[in-house]
């Protein structure tokens, strides 16, 4: 194994990778020779990055499918196993609580064995969970399968965004890191289609096939993972500079850009710029992410602001009530006045189409207009949809004996509009934004905190929605979600700076506290005096 050159100063390895005072090279200037790279010229899509992002994001199909398919399967599970509404709530919503284990552990594991192997582990875990649910003989075996699948979903939620953000170049990072959300929505749609297509089968078999089909994407992912490269940033953390350079050359538009990206990653990981061996030694613990939790528990002011932004956007993404719609669309449509099961599942499938189609809007626009504009438009549209949906459901609730066709049409339209606004902004951008603002050394485990928060809120809503709307009416539940979404819009406006077009290594400076004007004036005055003194001498 090649060693670090003797002249390499040891102190270079002791610098903190998350030091808020550490400046990184500009995204358009090569740190070694000052070469300016063109950043305004429109670049072609890198097909290799596209392939890597597609494969990594296949993990997200698993989570989307499992969440949505249960919304229809539960209708038949209740008939077959004779379980109560409370048991149904727990079965449906508990997967998000189980995600906590997967999301929390996945960050540490991905730092230890790599992003690529962690994706494979997620696929294996979900495959086992899906099969166990399909073969369940009773409620408790079904819950065991749900538990295992939940851990796999937690892995998938965390690792897909991390891997894609670390492979993609800055100019197209928003586009590629929105892929996991596209695949989540594709999984949701497939789950709804599965419900609709398999519903005519006998009750003792239809829900088993619905749940068992979730194992198929895991098989495809397990095969595809063999052809994926490792994350270049993880390779640098292991001291494998040669392998990282090879990946960067494939995922960059030019060899100059690849060298620039490598230099920036080396600087943020404390590796001296002049270290050019293919393999170098790094301090024990640095390569496996040891000590990261200590930095997260006692963060610097900059890292604290980053964590507030990341955890905040994940919190509000689920507190907006979107998973109540995904999990309980049939129940919501039933409360709105649709009675037959085939009509319920058909209307629910329309929700899946809307959710999937509109995520493409965000994918197309996120690198053109930025994260903040889409995020704010999305949340304002969701508030509007929540209020009108709540109003329509309240009118129907107060007139149970009347056939209010117009109000029913309004409820259906607003439910579709709600998921459309979510998918065109808040849904994908939560993953894009969080995966890019967290510093490299803290990224995997830091993102797991946000994912854990996201899954806890989703689990709470999933396990309490029926009880909630029985307590405050279904209209009241959506008025509540409208209020929470309003608070989220205020949070996004004041706490989330724009990140479009910046390298991952530059983004940390966005969260530095601006210096008071008097300090800036003092620094400028000192600098001017120094120039005058130099000229006069």
Burial bucket for residue 531 (CB in 10 Å: 0-12, 13-18, 19+): exposed
Greater pLDDT, 28 or 366? 366
User: Does residue 282 surpass a pLDDT of 60?
Assistant: yes
C-alpha dist (Å) from residue 480 to 166, 262, 275, 414, 419: 37, 47, 56, 16, 17
Residues 517-534 have pLDDT tens digits of 454 455 445 445 543 444
Residues 49-87 have pLDDT tens digits of 888 888 887 777 877 888 778 878 888 898 888 888 788
Quote the CA–CA distance of 409 and 336 in Å, as a whole number: 9
The alpha carbon of 120 is separated from its chain's Cα centroid by a whole number of angstroms, namely 18
The per-residue pLDDT for 418 is 93
Sorted by sequence, the CB contacts under 8 Å of residue 508 that are 6+ apart come out as 18, 20, 24, 302, 306, 437, 439
Quote the CA–CA distance of 325 and 313 in Å, as a whole number: 19
Nearest of 29, 46, 49 to residue 38 by alpha carbon: 29
pLDDT tier at 31, thresholds 50, 70, 90: very low
User: Does residue 316 surpass a pLDDT of 90?
Assistant: yes
Count of other CB atoms within 10 angstroms of residue 12: 17
Q: Are 422 and 355 in contact (CB under 8 A)?
A: yes
Quote the CA–CA distance of 505 and 23 in Å, as a whole number: 9
The per-residue pLDDT for 412 is 86
519: left (phi over 0), alpha (psi -120 to 50) or beta: alpha
Greater pLDDT, 101 or 401? 101
The per-residue pLDDT for 534 is 43
Quote the CA–CA distance of 506 and 499 in Å, as a whole number: 9
Sorted by sequence, the CB contacts under 8 Å of residue 464 that are 6+ apart come out as 89, 93
Residues, the chain: 537
Quote the CA–CA distance of 179 and 49 in Å, as a whole number: 12
Nearest of 36, 33, 26, 107 to residue 505 by alpha carbon: 26
User: Does residue 23 surpass a pLDDT of 60?
Assistant: no
The per-residue pLDDT for 20 is 39
The per-residue pLDDT for 283 is 63
> What average pLDDT does the chain have?
78
The per-residue pLDDT for 36 is 40
The per-residue pLDDT for 315 is 94
401 pairs with which residues across the strands? none
Residues 295-305 have pLDDT tens digits of 777 778 888 88
User: Does residue 105 surpass a pLDDT of 90?
Assistant: no
Q: Give the phi and the psi of residue 22 in degrees, each rounded to 5.
A: -80, 125
Quote the CA–CA distance of 71 and 73 in Å, as a whole number: 6
Which DSSP string corresponds to 141-156? HHHHHHHHHHHHHHHH
Nearest of 57, 60, 95 to residue 74 by alpha carbon: 95
36 pairs with which residues across the strands? 29
What's the whole-number mean pLDDT along residues 468-492?
92
Query: Which of 11-25, 105-119, 437-451, 482-496 has the weakest average pLDDT?
Result: 11-25
- Range list of H helices, 292-340: 292-297, 301-319, 322-336
Residues 33-50 have pLDDT tens digits of 333 444 444 556 678 888
* Radius of gyration for the alpha carbons in the chain, expressed in angstroms and rounded: 25
User: Does residue 29 surpass a pLDDT of 70?
Assistant: no
Greater pLDDT, 189 or 18? 189
Q: Are 428 and 297 in contact (CB under 8 A)?
A: no
Greater pLDDT, 292 or 161? 161
User: Does residue 11 surpass a pLDDT of 70?
Assistant: no
The per-residue pLDDT for 24 is 41
Nearest of 470, 352, 321 to residue 72 by alpha carbon: 352
Greater pLDDT, 343 or 467? 467
SS3 category, 36:
strand
User: Does residue 107 surpass a pLDDT of 70?
Assistant: yes
| For the chain, percent of residues with pLDDT exceeding 70 | 83
The per-residue pLDDT for 383 is 96
Count of other CB atoms within 10 angstroms of residue 499: 22
């Amino acid at each position: 194994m090649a060693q670090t050159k003797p002249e390499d100063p040891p102190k270079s390895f002791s610098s903190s990778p998350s030091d808020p005072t550490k400046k990184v090279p500009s995204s358009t200037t090569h740190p070694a020779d000052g070469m300016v790279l063109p950043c305004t010229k429109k670049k072609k899509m890198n097909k290799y990055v596209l392939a890597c992002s597609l494969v990594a994001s296949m993990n997200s199909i698993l989570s989307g499918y499992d969440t949505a398919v249960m919304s229809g399967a539960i209708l038949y599970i209740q008939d077959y196993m004779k379980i109560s509404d409370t048991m149904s709530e727990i079965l449906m919503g508990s997967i998000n609580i189980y995600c906590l284990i997967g999301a929390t552990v996945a960050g540490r594991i991905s730092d230890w064995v790599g992003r690529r192997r962690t994706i494979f582990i997620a696929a294996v875990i979900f495959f086992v969970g899906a099969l166990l649910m399909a073969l369940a003989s009773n409620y408790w075996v079904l819950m065991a399968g749900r538990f295992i699948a939940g851990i796999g979903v937690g892995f998938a939620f965390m690792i897909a965004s991390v891997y894609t953000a670390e492979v993609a170049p800055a100019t197209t990072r928003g586009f590629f890191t929105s892929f996991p959300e596209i695949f989540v929505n594709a999984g949701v749609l497939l789950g709804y289609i599965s419900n609709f297509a398999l519903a005519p089968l006998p009750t003792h078999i239809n829900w088993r096939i619905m749940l068992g089909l979730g194992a198929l994407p895991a098989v495809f992912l397990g095969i595809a993972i063999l052809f994926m490269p490792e994350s270049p940033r993880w390779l640098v953390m292991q001291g494998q500079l040669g392998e990282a350079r090879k990946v960067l050359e494939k995922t960059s538009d030019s060899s100059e850009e690849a060298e620039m990206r490598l230099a920036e990653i080396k600087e943020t990981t404390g590796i001296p710029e002049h270290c050019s061996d293919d393999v170098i030694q790094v301090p024990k613990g640095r390569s496996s992410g040891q000590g990261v939790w200590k930095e997260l528990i006692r963060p610097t002011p900059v890292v604290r602001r980053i964590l507030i932004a990341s955890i905040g956007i994940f919190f509000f993404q689920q507190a907006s009530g979107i998973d109540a719609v995904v999990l309980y669309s049939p129940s919501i449509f039933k409360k709105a006045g649709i009675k037959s099961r085939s009509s319920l599942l058909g209307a629910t499938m329309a929700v899946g189409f809307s959710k999937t189609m509109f995520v493409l809007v965000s994918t197309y626009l996120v690198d053109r207009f930025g994260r903040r504009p889409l995020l704010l438009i999305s949340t304002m549209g969701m508030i509007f949809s929540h209020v009108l949906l709540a109003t329509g459901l309240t009118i129907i609730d107060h007139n149970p004996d009347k056939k209010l066709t117009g109000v029913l049409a309004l409820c259906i339209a607003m439910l579709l509009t709600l998921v459309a606004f979510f998918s065109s902004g808040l849904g994908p951008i939560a993953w894009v934004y969080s995966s890019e603002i967290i510093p490299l050394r803290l990224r995997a485990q830091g993102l797991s905190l946000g994912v854990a928060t996201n899954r806890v809120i989703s689990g709470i809503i999933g396990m309490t929605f029926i009880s909630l709307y029985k307590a405050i009416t279904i209209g009241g539940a959506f008025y509540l979600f409208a209020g929470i979404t309003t608070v989220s819009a205020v949070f996004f406006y004041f706490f989330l700076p724009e990140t479009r077009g910046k390298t991952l290594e530059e983004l940390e400076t966005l969260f530095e506290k601006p210096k008071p004007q008097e300090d800036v004036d003092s620094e400028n005055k000192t600098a001017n005096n120094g120039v005058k003194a130099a000229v006069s001498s």
